[in-house]
Amino acid sequence: MMGHITVKVKKWGNSLGIIIPKRIVEKLGLSEEDIADIDIEKKERISGFGLCKGAPPYKEEKEIHEEWL
């Protein structure tokens, strides 16, 4: 079974880590000590400073994927 998520990499001691959201853990039936294959693709950050003058403030929307339901 497979799931797709976009996550933020965070510092954990001298390492970096990611958190798998609960909804994905439940969907995939993951538990501690399971083995998982993970493909990592770095997303480019784009600076939009000054591009949208007068636009309303950014509001993050939760994207729902049918396969997560």
Residue 69 has pLDDT above 80, yes or no: no
What residues does each domain of the chain span? 1-33
pTM for the full predicted model: 0.54
For residue 4, pLDDT over 70 is answered with: yes
19-60 pLDDT, tens digit per residue, is 998 988 998 899 999 998 888 888 877 666 666 667 777 677
23 contacts: CB under 8 Å, gap ≥ 6:
68
